[in-house]
Amino acid sequence: MTLTTPTTRTEYCVIACAEAWRDNGEILASPMGPVPALGARLAKSTFAPDLLLTDGEANLVSLDGTPEGWLPYRKHLTMVTGGRRHVMMGASQIDRHGNQNISCIGDWHRPTRQLLGVRGAPVNTLNNPTSYWIPKHSTRVFVPRVDMISGVGYDSAEAAGPSATRFHRIPYVISDLGVFDFATPDHSMRIVSLHPGVTLTEVQEATGFPLAVPEEVPYTREPTPHELHLVREVLV
């Protein structure tokens, strides 16, 4: 693909994911999934050079894979509780206040579909910024209420008290249709931008709850030619 080819939807998603780590400083970017991973590498290659990345095992690595540190799971979990990390997790379900589910579908006591389990979502959400990447935006994922709260949303953190809200933050939810945040008075999900080609109706129909909509809905920004070059020819 040459640089004159129009920007694809996936590339807008990569740009949106990269933007989540802007101005994050010297912290660990923990992307889960290929699009967030490319986004994190793009951010580090351009506007967020101080980010730390892992090789997916126990090494902290530079962009070319050179190890610069050791981060086995036990230290990784301390990095979480120390707060020097911004993770972008997946979500099988997510609701209006950012509660996320990766554990199971249906009644937890006897699920209709067992998924991964809560994994580190409870500790992530209470301790370090936790964003979400959802590759296929639909009413199956964006639901009124999740079946098993794994990642803690704003309303649940509020109800749990000050030790839950102290470090709780969900900067962004990024899907194949747009970018969302919780910068509303009641911390309900708001549209930040739509990816070019996506209509407001389309995203509302694919969301199982009302979204806060700003007066003017911007489009996700265009990649620069340098970013497109990196995404298409260097980082892949």
Partner 1 sequence: MTDKTMTPDEVISRLRSGMTLGIGGWGSRRKPMALVRALLRSEITDLHVISYGGPDVGLLAAAGRIRKLTAAFTTLDSIPLEPHYRAAREQGTLELTEIDEAMFMWGLHAAANRLPFLPVRAGIGSDVMRVNPHLRTVTSPYDDGEEFVAVPALRMDAALVHLNRADRLGNGQYLGPDPYFDDLFCEAADTAYLSCEQLVDTADLTKDHTPQTLLISRHTTTGVCETPNGAHFTSCAPDYGRDEAFQRHYATTPYAQFAARFLSGDEQHYQSQVQAWHKEQQ
Binding site for partner 1 (CB under 8 A): 57-59, 70, 72-74, 77, 80-81, 103-104, 108-123, 125-127, 148-152, 156-157, 159-164, 166-168
Which residue number, 160 or 234, has a Cβ lying nearer to partner 1?
Answer: 160
Q: Shortest distance, CB of residue 6 to partner 1, whole angstroms?
A: 33
Sort residue 101 into left (φ over 0), alpha (ψ -120 to 50) or beta: beta
How far apart CA 227 and CA 235 sit, in angstroms, is 10
Instruction: Return the SS3 of 60.
Output: strand
Q: Shortest distance, CB of residue 124 to partner 1, whole angstroms?
A: 8
The DSSP output letter for 52 is B
Which residue number, 43 or 89, has a Cβ lying nearer to partner 1?
Answer: 89
Q: Shortest distance, CB of residue 178 to partner 1, whole angstroms?
A: 26
Q: Shortest distance, CB of residue 70 to partner 1, whole angstroms?
A: 8
- In this structure, the number of other CB atoms found within 10 A of the CB of residue 25 comes to 10
Which residue number, 77 or 217, has a Cβ lying nearer to partner 1?
Answer: 77
Q: Which two tokens stand for residue 29?
A: 């970017």
Q: Shortest distance, CB of residue 100 to partner 1, whole angstroms?
A: 9
Q: Which two tokens stand for residue 196?
A: 């070019």
Which residue number, 111 or 135, has a Cβ lying nearer to partner 1?
Answer: 111
For residues 205-214, b (16+ Cβ closer than 10 Å) or e, as one string?
A: ebbbbebbee
Which residue number, 47 or 167, has a Cβ lying nearer to partner 1?
Answer: 167
Characterize the bridge pairing of strands 130-134 and 173-175.
parallel
